[in-house]
Structure formats: structure tokens, C-alpha cells
Amino acid sequence: MHSLLLFGSKCVRKTAHFISHSLPASRDYWVVSGRFDSIPYMPICASCLATTELGRCEGKGVVIPYCSACLSSIGRTGVGNLAWILAEILSSMTACAFLAMLPWVSEGAAIGFALAFAVVPWLTGQIWKNYSERLPSRHGKAVFAIAEGLACRNAEWATQLGNRVGANVHSKRLRIGTKLGWASSGVLIALLATPWLFEIFHPYVRIVNLTDDVIVAFADGHKLASVQLTSSENPSAGSLTRIPLGQRRLSARRLDGTIVDQVLADVIAGHSHLFAPGRPQSICFWVERTGLGRARDGLAQREVLAPLASFWSIKSDIDVWFEPASGSSSTHFTGSVVTALRQGACPSAGGANVD
């Protein structure tokens, strides 16, 4: 146990060291203090000090002079950053869709792996950016707008600008990197899209136990839930769990391993699902639609579920489970048609069968 803890601690330290070295490295800048809406005309490149009449906007419309070589380098860097961001977004979206479609993966694991796929391209981009910045080059972006004023990489150009505008110039170590909004785009996609897609590809199924003993439900050999028995209609009866889309072999067993029921079921996106293994043939289920408040239209409409089945995929969204719609304590349904799934003796239900 002690060796396992030491190994885990070592992995955490290695991971932290890797991430810290993957972020933008801090370096010395020369800060020209003040608030700048514009700067005096200076025909000197802010990066390589070459004579130039070209420029590039920085911050809120401040035109910084750059030569053509430096402008080309800045353009290539911008394209590279955009490519890494697009790779991060594409990787995150692909991971979200793929992981959500996997049949037997937990929602937490799907979100975790999607986050990893989103972060890897960003870390790779930061590593490459730090490496390329360490290469000997006089060209590139050299002035950055910060809260204090303008942070410059070239001390001589910063000094000349400070003398022209009468501003204080001082050295400061800063870490300037990718904006958080861009860097976190893939992470936000993973956090928001993965749960939504997971719900689509893993709909809920309500499992009720109408036998005389506790049962354990399985889908394709994977344990879903242990379900306590219930003998009457109860809103909290049964267990609610998710299962993957597609054709699934559902089964239920007693605690001693005796098979109670097994069925080949079609799990469909956007449907409500009910599994009642080993139910007595005298017990039926039906969908009941009732208008409440302004939508009141008389008696409830009933549709009986197939009486010989033990699994049902119901097209309607079920608002209320195993209680009358009119008796529900929720006020959310006022002025609407409430769909309830009911349970009772078979002779008490009337109407047409539904799948």
C-alpha cells in the first residue's frame, strides 16, 4: 500500500511538472506605463529595429510599427495558433461523440476522457510555441497590451517610446500566452456536449419488481441495479437507470441466481422505457393523459401497454410515474396535458395497445 501511494505521488508530481513546463514561459519585458489610445509615429520596427513604414494594431487601436519580415512572422504565428485551437475543438467534438456512443462507459469516464482529448492539442500547441520562441529569431510580435500599458520585448524600442511619450519604462517578468477563452473552448465543449450526448445515447429505463423477492437486473451481462419488490402503485417504486441505445438482452435474476425473466429489447432515443420482469399476468400498465387547468378536456385518455410483454419502449415522455396526474403534487403541469404511467389490475384499464 505504501509503495502504491509513493507511485501515485510520483505520477502527480511528474504530471504537475509536465503541465507547468507546457504553459507559456515567463520572460523579461520592458513595460511602458500609461494608457495609450495612440503612440507617436516611430518608423522603427518594434521587434528588430529595422526602418519601416508598416504597422499593426495592438490593443485598442494602437498602431505598432513592424517591418515586413516581422509581420509575416506574426501572421504565421496567428495561423498556427488558429490551427491548434481548431484541432482542440475538433478533437473535443470527436471525443464527445465517440465516447457518448460507447455502450458501457460511465458518464463520468466519458466526460473525463473527452476533457483529456480537448486538453492534449492545447498542451501540444503550448509546447511547440515555447520551443519556437526559444529559437534564435529577431522577428515576431514584440509589443503586448497589458493593464499597466505596453509590454515590449525590445528594451531599446521601449526606451525610445518612453522618451517620446514621457512615460516610465521598467523591467518586469511576465507570462503572456493564449487567451483563456480560446484555450478553454475545447474544455467547454467537452463539459457541455458530453453529458447532453450521453443522455441521448443512454436513455433511462424504469425497472419495477412485482415478484415476491429482490431481483438483480442485467443488460447484455452488465449489472444495472438491484431492485426491491413492490406490490402496489408507488411513485418511488423500482429503479431508474441508463442503458445504451440499440437492441439489448435484458434479464432479471433472484439473489440465488435463478432467472426470473429475459427479453430482447429495443432501446430507442427519445422514448421512455419500462422493464417489469416476472410480473403477474393480472397486472397491466397503461399510459394516461390528463388535461389540467386550462387544458382540462374531461376524462383521462388511456392506452394500455402490450399485456403479454415485460419490456416497453413508449414514444411519449412520461411526466408522472405510478400515480394519477391529478393527484401529483407538482404545479409545473398546470394548464397542460400530463402523461402518467399507471399500474393496476388488467380489467381496470381500457383502450388500445401501444408499443
Residue-wise pLDDT for 142-151, tens only, equals: 888 888 888 8
All three cell numbers of 89: 475543438
* pLDDT reported for residue 84: 75
Q: Would you say the C-alpha torsion 311, 315, 317, 318 has a positive or negative sign?
A: negative
CA 84/CA 125 separation, integer angstroms: 6
In this prediction, residue 241 has a pLDDT band, given cuts at 50, 70 and 90, of very high
Whether the pLDDT of residue 351 is over 70: the answer is: no
CA 355/CA 344 separation, integer angstroms: 18
Whether the pLDDT of residue 1 is over 60: the answer is: no
Strand partners, 51: 44
Residue 158, classed as helix, strand or coil, is helix
Which residues have a Cβ under 8 Å from the Cβ of 284 and sit 6 or more positions away? Answer: 304, 305, 307, 343, 344, 345, 346, 348, 349
Report pLDDT digits (tens) over 245-289.
999 999 999 999 899 999 999 999 989 999 999 988 889 999 988
Whether the pLDDT of residue 169 is over 80: the answer is: yes
* pLDDT reported for residue 350: 47
Q: Of residues 80 and 45, which shows the higher confidence score?
A: 45
pTM greater than 0.75: no
CA 308/CA 96 separation, integer angstroms: 39
CA 133/CA 167 separation, integer angstroms: 28
Summarize the confidence of residues 189-205 as an average pLDDT.
Answer: 89
Whether the pLDDT of residue 211 is over 60: the answer is: yes
272 φ, ψ (degrees, to nearest 5): -95, 145
CA 314/CA 18 separation, integer angstroms: 51
Interior CA angle at 20 toward 16 and 26, to 5°? 160
Residue closest to 28 by CA, chosen among 146, 151, 135, 122: 151
* C-beta of residue 305 within 8 angstroms of C-beta of residue 286: yes
Report pLDDT digits (tens) over 273-332.
999 999 888 899 999 888 766 555 555 688 889 888 999 999 888 888 988 876 655 545
